[in-house]
């Protein structure tokens, strides 16, 4: 309800400004109701926007906490040997990064609804002056939606690559900085090799991200230019057709106020499209771990809460590709 009320503000300002400018020669007491209405409308814009932002943040926090809890339950249900595989670790990393996009779906859906509502109300308001101007306002939504939809498709293809490269890069950095002592990394002097591989993975992730950001910049610039042309066409059309100073002034104010709301439509649509494949990947991971509910319902029966020591006998270790054991019969 709050979103729809905010969406109606540009159209309401159009009618109020049109009436105010049209009554420029009237007495002050005759214009008082319009002035009071404009003052109330302008005064409500900021507090209502703050309330809507706070409500969206609360919604996002609750969604993020719920999805993080689900992911932890699924990970807890896996066997240790499954967590050690690169495929599972990468999938979990991608799912964790996907939560960042998923938790913002609710607020973006409300933002999209508000932007579409603002476009609808503003189109109806300008329709009363000129049909073509109203259609141009409605068309002004399209460039941002198309641009950010293309950006979302590009990001959907790039994020899995970023997740895989970043996971491998962080693992190599951890091995180099924290797990180096008492390993073959230090005894064989292989630190430079691990550092080279880690830097390569970090650069690989950065290059993919840089390409995604650069593509988004280009598409946003194109969309902004197209939107500006359409809004300019609205004002020019009203000037040519109406000939009324009140209508022209009201249209300029309404376009300026409504431009930001309509532009947000593209951001919200792109965010929803970008979040869709990530939500799908999250659900795919959750579905692959269907037995997690049973395993994560509580501690394993018979497990001890505290252990003072752990003893293992007859331990053997063979490196991949080696013919003989590197460690044999250890305790």
The pLDDT tens digits for 153-178 are 787 778 778 878 888 888 888 877 77
Mean pLDDT score of the chain: 77
pLDDT, residue 215, reads 92
Helix ranges (DSSP H) in the chain: 2-7, 9-22, 28-76, 80-83, 86-102, 105-127, 131-139, 141-177, 184-187, 191-241, 245-288, 292-295
Average pLDDT score over residue span 34-42: 79
pLDDT, residue 189, reads 61
Rounded distance between C-alpha atoms, residue 225 and residue 231, angstroms: 10
Check residues 49 and 302 and name the one with the higher pLDDT. 49
Q: What is the pLDDT of residues 53-89, one digit of tens each?
A: 788 888 888 888 888 888 888 788 777 777 777 777 7
The HSE-up count of residue 228 (CA atoms within 13 Å, CB side) is 6
pLDDT reading at 187 higher than 60: no
pLDDT, residue 28, reads 63
Ramachandran region, residue 313 (left: φ > 0; alpha: ψ -120 to 50; beta: rest): beta
Q: What is the pLDDT of residues 96-131, one digit of tens each?
A: 777 877 777 777 777 778 777 777 887 777 777 778
pLDDT reading at 267 higher than 80: no
| CB proximity list for 31: less than 8 A, separation 6 or greater | 20, 23
Check residues 222 and 272 and name the one with the higher pLDDT. 222
pLDDT band at 298 (very low <50, low <70, confident <90, very high): low
Average pLDDT score over residue span 44-48: 79
pLDDT, residue 269, reads 76
Rounded distance between C-alpha atoms, residue 226 and residue 205, angstroms: 32
Place of tokens 């799912």: 95
Q: Given the DSSP bridges, would you call strands 315-317 and 327-330 parallel, antiparallel or unpaired?
A: antiparallel
pLDDT reading at 229 higher than 60: yes
Q: Which element (helix H / strand E) includes 314?
A: none
pLDDT reading at 294 higher than 70: no
pLDDT reading at 281 higher than 70: no
pLDDT band at 305 (very low <50, low <70, confident <90, very high): low
Token pair recorded at residue 224: 């902004």
Decide: 209 and 159 in contact? Cβ < 8 Å: no
| CB proximity list for 153: less than 8 A, separation 6 or greater | 273
* Integer-rounded Cα radius of gyration of the chain: 29
Token pair recorded at residue 121: 């109300």
pLDDT, residue 292, reads 44
Check residues 110 and 303 and name the one with the higher pLDDT. 110
Buried b (16+ CB within 10 A) or exposed e, 11-44: bbbbebbbbbbbeeeeeeeebeebeebbeeeeee
pLDDT, residue 210, reads 92
Decide: 288 and 40 in contact? Cβ < 8 Å: no
pLDDT reading at 135 higher than 60: yes
Check residues 122 and 215 and name the one with the higher pLDDT. 215
pLDDT reading at 238 higher than 60: yes
pLDDT band at 188 (very low <50, low <70, confident <90, very high): low
Query: Could you tell me which of 216, 9, 228 has the C-alpha nearest to residue 140?
Result: 228
What pTM was computed for the model? 0.62
Query: Could you tell me which of 97, 143, 161 has the C-alpha nearest to residue 269?
Result: 143
């Amino acid at each position: 309800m709050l979103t729809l009320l905010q969406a109606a503000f540009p159209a309401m300002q159009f009618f109020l400004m049109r009436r105010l400018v049209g009554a420029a020669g009237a007495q002050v007491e005759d214009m008082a109701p319009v002035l009071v209405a404009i003052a109330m409308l302008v005064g409500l814009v900021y507090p209502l926007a703050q309330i809507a932002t706070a409500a969206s943040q609360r919604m996002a926090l609750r969604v993020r906490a719920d999805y993080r809890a689900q992911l932890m339950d699924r990970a807890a249900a896996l066997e240790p040997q499954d967590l050690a595989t690169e495929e599972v670790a990468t999938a979990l990393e991608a799912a964790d990064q996907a939560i960042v996009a998923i938790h913002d779906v609710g607020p973006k859906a409300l933002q999209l609804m508000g932007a579409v509502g603002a476009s609808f109300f503003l189109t109806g308001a300008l329709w009363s002056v000129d049909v073509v101007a109203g259609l141009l306002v409605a068309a002004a939504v399209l460039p941002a939606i198309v641009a950010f939809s293309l950006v979302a498709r590009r990001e959907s293809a790039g994020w899995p690559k970023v997740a895989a490269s970043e996971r491998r890069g962080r693992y190599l950095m951890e091995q180099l900085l924290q797990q180096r002592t008492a390993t073959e990394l230090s005894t064989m002097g292989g630190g430079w090799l691990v550092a080279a591989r880690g830097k390569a993975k970090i650069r690989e992730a950065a290059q993919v991200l840089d390409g995604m950001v650069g593509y988004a910049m280009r598409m946003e610039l194109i969309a902004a230019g197209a939107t500006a042309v359409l809004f300019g066409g609205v004002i020019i059309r009203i000037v040519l057709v109406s000939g009324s100073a009140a209508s022209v002034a009201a249209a300029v104010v309404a376009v300026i106020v409504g431009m930001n709301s309509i532009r947000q439509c593209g951001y919200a649509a792109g965010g929803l499209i970008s979040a869709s494949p990530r939500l799908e990947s999250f659900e795919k991971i959750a579905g692959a771990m269907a037995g997690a509910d049973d395993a994560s319902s509580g501690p394993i029966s018979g497990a001890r809460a505290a252990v003072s020591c752990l003893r293992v006998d007859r331990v053997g270790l063979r490196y991949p590709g080696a013919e003989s054991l590197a460690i044999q019969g250890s305790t």
